[in-house]
Amino acid sequence: MQEGTPTRPQGSYHHGNLKEALVDAYFELLKTIPAEKLSLRKLASQVGVAPTAVYNHFSDKDALMSEIELRCIKHFTAYLRSNSCAEEEPEKRICNLGRAYFQYSVDHPKYFELVFLDETSEESITEELLAAGMAAETEVRDVICALLEKHGVETSQYNTGLGTFACWSMAHGVSLLAAKHVNHAACMEGRWPPEFMLNDREMVKSSFSAISDVLVAGILAAVQKKGV
């Protein structure tokens, strides 16, 4: 899987890989067509097969979207991994993961929406999809475990869960606020410092460094107070 796109490097259809070709076709069409207008029939036409052939792999659009989300989650996880170095101090890794999360929402907004904002029906949630989601969570939880161990705090379920939840919430919250330009409005009104505009990589780096310092201090204070 290439870092720049969740489509496979080789997307042409030949006998035996129709399922993958249909997913590739979805991402290709998504560049020019809104997601809500993409149908199984349109994908069949893009690939060059009869509409009935699609149903050998996907019973309906929900089943297709489950496969699409799986591809996006794997792509997102690979993006996070590429921005996390196990040799670095956990505080820096937390900052880098937060920046990577935000940058993914900027560089790949449509894929970000498919993973985090579009609803997936319960019937379409597969074991593979759940496992892929937990792989992304593991990237964050491993850093939290390293942080707790560094500061002599027990890596209990509560402590690691709290830290992971807090980190994920921070990165997701910043990403959504920036997507809606709420941060821009606050900065333009003079309520927030200019770097919180997040207009360039230096602003992003500075902002996430400060936010991560607050986050790390808060996590450590909370778990030490809880004493679990």
Domains and CATH numbers, the chain: 87-226 (1.10.357)
Give the model's confidence band at 38: pLDDT under 50 very low, under 70 low, under 90 confident, else very high: confident
CA distances from 58 to 22, 32, 34, 45, 208 (A): 10, 23, 20, 15, 41
pLDDT by residue (tens digit) across 46-66? 898 888 888 888 888 888 888
**CA-closest candidate to residue 113, choices 100, 104, 122:** 104
pLDDT tens string 128-181: 888 988 999 999 999 999 999 999 999 999 999 999 999 999 999 999 999 999
How confident is the prediction for the chain on average, in pLDDT? 88
pLDDT of residue 4: 56
pLDDT > 80? residue 102: yes
Q: Locate tokens 């161990």: which residue?
A: 149
**pLDDT above 80: residue 118:** no
> In the 8-state DSSP scheme, what is residue 30?
H
How is residue 159 written in tokens?
A: 């402590």
